[in-house]
Amino acid sequence: MKKPQKYTTWNIVRVFITVAVFLSVFSTTMYPALGSSDNDLLLPGYGYTVDYYRSYGEPTIEASLIGNTELERGENIDLQVMLENKGVIEGMKRLNVNQNLIPDSKEEFIALAEMEAEQDCITAKDIEANLISESKYIHVESKTTPQNVDELKTGYIQPIKFGIRIDDDTPAGEYELKLPVTYEYQNNVRTETSKAANLGISNNVGFTQSATPGFAQEYTTRNVTIPLHISIKKQPEFVVSNVSGSIIQGSTGKINVTYTNIGDDAAEDAQVKITVLKPLSTSKSIVRLGSIGPGENRTASFSISVDDGAVAKNYDIDSDIKYINDKREMELSDNMRVSAHVEKDESSINTTYIIIIAIALVFVYQAVKAIRNRKKYSENASGDEND
């Protein structure tokens, strides 16, 4: 009867050892610590860490544009964006944790070390920022997005920039760009126990010799989308809407050029200037237009001279308008081409015809005269023979 009792006791011990090993492996594999070093071969799990403090706080990432946010049509610029971390720790809570076999004074020192490590919860790490435009008129250069920042501590700022292109026909007004930002932050810190050091899975190999414990950090990923606002300013925009008049070869003529303001703002004290090249010339290249409101037009007359040997065709004349904008600043419009038509000198053609006809008449006269003289000579010669 005693042998079965001994055999049963041994079976119970074996089962207990098996369960203990299983629970040890389960706690290590099922609860890995996040954010540990890549050099760790085996990370301590919840079964080998304790949590002394819980921090309340996380990074608060804000973004703003640097410089003038009022842009112009047709611009290609680097948009400067400032990232700022305004995260604050709202509080710390001491958890009711006590390790066995550790003096209270030493354990409190270890707990305070964890509390200090918890303060890194408001640091943003591995930041990725993308700029997105939902407007068909504003384009983000793909090679400039995303922008990455390794770390941004609270109270610090980090400038980044994105290239954008604004179409020439972009309507004036306010536009919103979106800045999705992804980052990680430390969500919790747990302190390694002496068991982790004994098993060789501690982040701090010198745990038993050093007063500083090792930690296992847990990280959380956060996604936020920050709106950024720019504006396309109102401004005049001019086109050549009509050209009349022509110039004759070798003379001076007048052309009338009509300029229309197709923009969305008025141009004050406008004046147009033309630039002509040979065989054209002008004695007055600047004409005052006055104020031109949106949708209005003004006509400028220019006296143009053409050299005698100029070819009859259309000649391009450069023109631009200088004006005062709504901020009382002087601005210059884009260059506008004016097509001036040079016609042939019909009078010179008529003169040529007259000369040719005159020469022909002289030739005919001389021919007739020669014929008459020859006939007279023949008659005279016949009279002499009769005598």
Task: Give all domains of the chain, ordered by start, each with its CATH number.
Answer: 31-232 (2.60.40.10), 238-346 (2.60.40.10)
| Closest C-alpha to 230, from 181, 173, 167 | 173
DSSP notation for 195-229: HHHHHT--S-TTTTT-SSPPEEEEEEEEEEEEEEE
What is the predicted pLDDT for the residue at 14? 54
Report CA dihedral (311, 312, 316, 321) to the nearest 10 degrees. 120
228: Cβ contacts below 8 Å, ≥ 6 apart: 63, 64, 65, 81, 131, 176, 177, 178, 179
Backbone angles phi, psi at 143, to 5 degrees: -75, -10
Tokens standing for residue 84: 């700022």
| Closest C-alpha to 245, from 301, 164, 286, 207 | 301
Q: What is the pLDDT along the chain (387 residues), one digit of tens a residue?
A: 444 444 455 455 454 444 444 444 444 434 333 333 333 334 455 667 888 999 999 999 999 999 999 999 999 999 999 999 999 999 999 988 777 767 878 888 888 999 999 999 999 999 999 999 999 999 999 999 999 999 999 999 999 999 999 998 899 999 999 999 999 999 999 988 766 555 555 555 444 444 567 888 999 999 999 999 999 999 999 999 999 998 999 999 999 999 999 999 999 999 999 999 999 999 999 999 999 999 999 999 999 999 988 999 999 999 999 999 988 999 999 999 999 999 988 765 455 556 677 787 777 767 777 777 776 666 666 655 555
Phi-psi region of 200 (alpha: psi -120 to 50; beta: other; left: phi over 0): left
* Per-residue pLDDT tens digits for 290-331: 999 999 999 999 999 999 889 999 999 999 999 999 889 999
pTM: 0.66
Specify the 3-state DSSP secondary structure of 28: helix
Give the Cα separation of 227 and 64 in Å (integer): 9
